[in-house]
Amino acid sequence: MPLSLKDRLDASAAAAEARLDAALAGAALPGERVRPERLMAAMRHGALGGGKRLRPFLVMESAALFGIPADGAVTVAAAVECIHCYSLVHDDLPAMDNDDLRRGRPTVHRAYDEATAILAGDGLLTLAFDLLAGDDAHPDPVVRVALVRALARAAGIGGMVGGQMLDLAAEGRFSGGAALALDAPAIRDLQAMKTGALLALSAEAGALLGRAGAAERAALQAYGRALGAAFQIADDILDVEGTAEEVGKKVGKDAAAGKATLVSLLGLDAARALLDGLVAEATTALGPFGARGAILAEAARFVAARRS
Amino acid sequence: MPLSLKDRLDASAAAAEARLDAALAGAALPGERVRPERLMAAMRHGALGGGKRLRPFLVMESAALFGIPADGAVTVAAAVECIHCYSLVHDDLPAMDNDDLRRGRPTVHRAYDEATAILAGDGLLTLAFDLLAGDDAHPDPVVRVALVRALARAAGIGGMVGGQMLDLAAEGRFSGGAALALDAPAIRDLQAMKTGALLALSAEAGALLGRAGAAERAALQAYGRALGAAFQIADDILDVEGTAEEVGKKVGKDAAAGKATLVSLLGLDAARALLDGLVAEATTALGPFGARGAILAEAARFVAARRS
């Protein structure tokens, strides 16, 4: 009997957590002089003990489509989660979104200090590539180097870093303070970069691990892109409708910042319709995998319906 | 007739600059939606138009020992320089060293703003691994993935990031404000991580590019480590003796922060003697390369004697 979505989410979360825990152990590696205690504690605060671990789930479930067992995907899952966690640590900084609360706990710069948070983020970003380069990521260096390239692109200028930059610009941070009046395509570009790129990479990573053909790789990318867009709209809806207690971070931030989202632009009903359309797009993209794609399809529905 | 050290430094600097310039071009790559203009400008400010480019020189000259032409080493040289430049951008931030001036120009957060500087640093760090993953870094993926691993280790917890953390701790940032009374071995650990690891990696990178044997790789690492230690002592001496005009950044910072350096601990004369010893160590390590190592040996002497 196949496990439920919740069981699988829990299993991949636990596996990724254990891999991150091992990577962030306090003892110096061979060749290292010291692992500074405060840095390790801050990195662990930023990376362990919370979060849905959606990206590790996507890596591990997409890899499973190609027969890759959990052990064979968990290091890549942990690497992708390192990137996600570093981005949260840096985005929460006072100079960025200035958040005090994350996953119901103090953000890293509140629990430690700004300098430590900057370095913890830098350390997690660097660790992601360290993890991908090791032979436990995949036995074939060709696959490992493809993962490095794909992750760097998803995380960099044309992906997450660029998306956060567009997001700050949209708030009017570099143009006198008034939020920019972005239209829907501009918002979708921004969100595809800020959130979508890493989610799409997570699904694509399974195809890379499984040495999938071009069609299957493209199918998983399309799934991941649609899921990423759905994720962001669900997030924007939660920012309007959720409570801080449910969501585990401050809500109402977009409205407070006068920031255009697809929800503020189209209204809640149209945003929900768009969300439904994206879920359909995600599940359709899984067509080539037949019944084996069921758990990823269920994940897309879960992402759209989540309350936290 | 062989080119002089200055000619070779200029040639590798120009080649690395051109490679970085191309990597930081404004036009979106295939698959990218947008390259945000302000982000690109800040990254270019942080990475182009200045600096000694010592790390690219070390990559390219150590690669040349194995017959690798400039073209075959310049992408790796640019990747290493990306890491160096990102570290300067982040270290200069108000929450870190709070510097206004770098290479005689405003630091990135002064020329733009803090959020942009954080993202520009993140972007450069990510770009380094993107560059290493491309087949212009080296035709063999085995070599590329070894470079990714080595660079991540030099830049991460046990290297540069950890070293900056130790440096902030040494200033008393996390212990009530008074600088810690580090002893010489602790200072050498700190400096080996903060500055030495990336310089050692730069020399080692040539061995990786040239698929050198273990002995040659170890020789270049030893050279790089000694050069890195010499570089840092020379820096500490300049911080005492140089002028901001010569050095291109604020001087007297260590004394102002009450920070222990090998200069403050041992005195100028003993620090100079240690510097001479490290230069000898660096040149001795080059023994296996015979006359071909002359330019790297000259570079070690140059680093020790530099005034900026």
Chain A residues inside the 8 Å CB shell of B43: 157
* Whether B95 contacts A118, CB under 8 Å: yes
CB atoms within 10 A of CB A245: 9
Chain B residues inside the 8 Å CB shell of A189: 33-34
Helix runs in B134-267, H state only: 141-155, 160-170, 184-191, 197-209, 214-241, 244-247, 253-256, 262-266
Q: A160 pLDDT band (50/70/90 cuts)? A: very high
Q: Is the pLDDT of residue B233 over 70?
A: yes
SS3 string, A142-158, reads HHHHHHHHHHHHHHCCC
Name the phi and psi angles at A101, rounded to 5. Answer: -130, 135
Question: What distance in Å separates the CA atoms of residue B13 and residue B53, rounded to the nearest whole number?
Answer: 5
CB atoms within 10 A of CB A1: 3
HSE of A233, CA atoms in CB hemisphere, 13 A:
30
Within 22-81 of A, beta carbons closer than 8 Å to B belong to: 28-29, 31-36, 38-40, 43
Q: Is the pLDDT of residue A247 over 70?
A: no
- What is the CATH code for B5-305? 1.10.600.10
* Closest approach of A202 to chain B, Cα-based (Å): 16
Which residues are registered as beta bridge partners of B101?
Answer: B106
A122 shares contact with chain B (CB less than 8 Å): yes
* Closest approach of B193 to chain A, Cα-based (Å): 8
* Closest approach of B7 to chain A, Cα-based (Å): 34
* Whether A202 contacts A69, CB under 8 Å: no
Residue contact A148–B129, C-beta within 8 A = yes
Residue contact B113–A174, C-beta within 8 A = yes
* Whether B203 contacts B58, CB under 8 Å: yes
Question: What distance in Å separates the CA atoms of residue B81 and residue B75, rounded to the nearest whole number?
Answer: 10
Q: Coil, strand, or helix at residue B49?
A: coil
Chain B residues inside the 8 Å CB shell of A141: 141-142, 144-145
What is the predicted pLDDT for the residue at B2? 63
Q: What's the ipTM?
A: 0.95
Question: What distance in Å separates the CA atoms of residue B65 and residue B76, rounded to the nearest whole number?
Answer: 15
| Closest partner CB to A93 (pick from B118, B144, B156) | B118
Question: What distance in Å separates the CA atoms of residue A61 and residue A233, rounded to the nearest whole number?
Answer: 23
Chain A residues inside the 8 Å CB shell of B144: 141, 145, 148
Average pLDDT across chain B, whole number: 92
Question: What distance in Å separates the CA atoms of residue A110 and residue A46, rounded to the nearest whole number?
Answer: 11
Q: Cα B170 vs. chain centroid, distance in angstroms?
A: 21
Q: Which tokens sit at A254?
A: 């977009």
Predicted confidence (pLDDT) per residue in B69-108, tens digit: 999 999 999 999 999 999 999 999 999 999 999 888 999 9
Single out the residue of B40, B30, B83 nearest to residue A169, CA to CA.
Answer: B40
Range B217-225 average pLDDT: 96
A113 shares contact with chain B (CB less than 8 Å): yes
Length of chain B in terms of residues written: 308
Q: Coil, strand, or helix at residue B123?
A: helix
Question: What distance in Å separates the CA atoms of residue A24 and residue A43, rounded to the nearest whole number?
Answer: 7
Within 143-202 of B, beta carbons closer than 8 Å to A belong to: 144-146, 148-149, 151-153, 155-159, 161-162, 164-166, 168-169, 173-174, 189, 192-193
Percent of chain B with pLDDT over 70: 94
Chain A residues inside the 8 Å CB shell of B221: none
* Whether A197 contacts A160, CB under 8 Å: yes
A104/B145: higher pLDDT: B145
What is the predicted pLDDT for the residue at A189? 93
* Whether B52 contacts B85, CB under 8 Å: no
Percent of chain B with pLDDT over 90: 79
* Closest approach of B201 to chain A, Cα-based (Å): 12
Q: Is the pLDDT of residue B211 over 90?
A: yes
| Closest partner CB to B149 (pick from A96, A130, A165) | A130
* Whether B99 contacts B249, CB under 8 Å: yes
Pairing mode, if any, of strands A101-102 and A105-106?
antiparallel
Which residues are registered as beta bridge partners of A106?
Answer: A101
Question: What distance in Å separates the CA atoms of residue A105 and residue A108, rounded to the nearest whole number?
Answer: 9
Range A3-29 average pLDDT: 93
* Whether A285 contacts A226, CB under 8 Å: yes
Q: What Å distances lie between residue A261 and A182, A211, A244, A257, CA to CA?
A: 8, 37, 19, 11
Q: Identify the burial level of B288 via C-beta atoms within 10 angstroms of its C-beta, where 0-12 means exposed, 13-18 middle and 19 or more buried.
A: middle
Lowest mean pLDDT among A28-32, A304-308, B54-58, B68-72: A304-308
| Closest partner CB to A129 (pick from B28, B152, B189) | B152
| Closest partner CB to A33 (pick from B132, B141, B192) | B192
Residue contact B116–A153, C-beta within 8 A = no
Single out the residue of B117, B122, B93, B38 nearest to residue A166, CA to CA.
Answer: B38
Q: Which tokens sit at B82?
A: 């990306």
Residues 6+ apart with CB under 8 A from B193: A33, A34, B158, B159, B160, B162, B163, B166
What is the predicted pLDDT for the residue at B78? 98
Chain A residues inside the 8 Å CB shell of B192: 33
